[in-house]
Amino acid sequence: GDSVTQMEGPVTLSEEAFLTINCTYTATGYPSLFWYVQYPGEGLQLLLKATKADDKGSNKGFEATYRKETTSFHLEKGSVQVSDSAVYFCALYLMDSNYQLIWGAGTKLIIKP
């Protein structure tokens, strides 16, 4: 079945370090891909998205490129800040899935000053 696999956390980095959080997916069709972020004590917010192969989503300095050949959508940021500490969820959506998002398990990111 369709699924999303994320790297396990927590990921601990120092401020200004380079961030990569890996996400790979399995899907029978051509999904849209998303990164959602959950800051401590808050709800889920869309961080970025990509709807077709080779699209790059970007927001707040984060980027992810939809790679169909490797079925991946890795999240990257060149220089992280303490305020980026949160849980990051990769998710996919298929048009024939009754509009249901399929989620990864989430990766907790801890940024130390």
Partner 1 sequence: EPEVTQTPSHQVTQMGQEVILRCVPISNHLYFYWYRQILGQKVEFLVSFYNNEISEKSEIFDDQFSVERPDGSNFTLKIRSTKLEDSAMYFCASNDRGSTGELFFGEGSRLTVL
The footprint of partner 1 (CB under 8 A) covers 31-32, 34, 36, 42-46, 49, 51, 89, 93-95, 98-106
- The half-sphere exposure of 69 on its side-chain side, counting CA atoms within 13 A, is 1
* CA pair distance 96, 113, nearest whole angstrom: 44
Q: Between 16 and 68, whose beta carbon lies closer to partner 1? A: 68
- Give me the half-sphere count of Cα atoms (radius 13 Å) on the Cβ side of residue 22: 7
Minimum CB separation of residue 113 from partner 1 in Å reads 25
Residue with tokens 């509009």: 99
What is the smallest separation between the CB atom of 111 and partner 1, expressed in angstroms?
19
The least CB distance from residue 27 to partner 1, in Å, is 12
For residues 14 and 51, which CB has a smaller minimum distance to partner 1 in the complex? 51
Spatial contact of 2 and 102, defined as CB atoms under 8 Å apart: yes
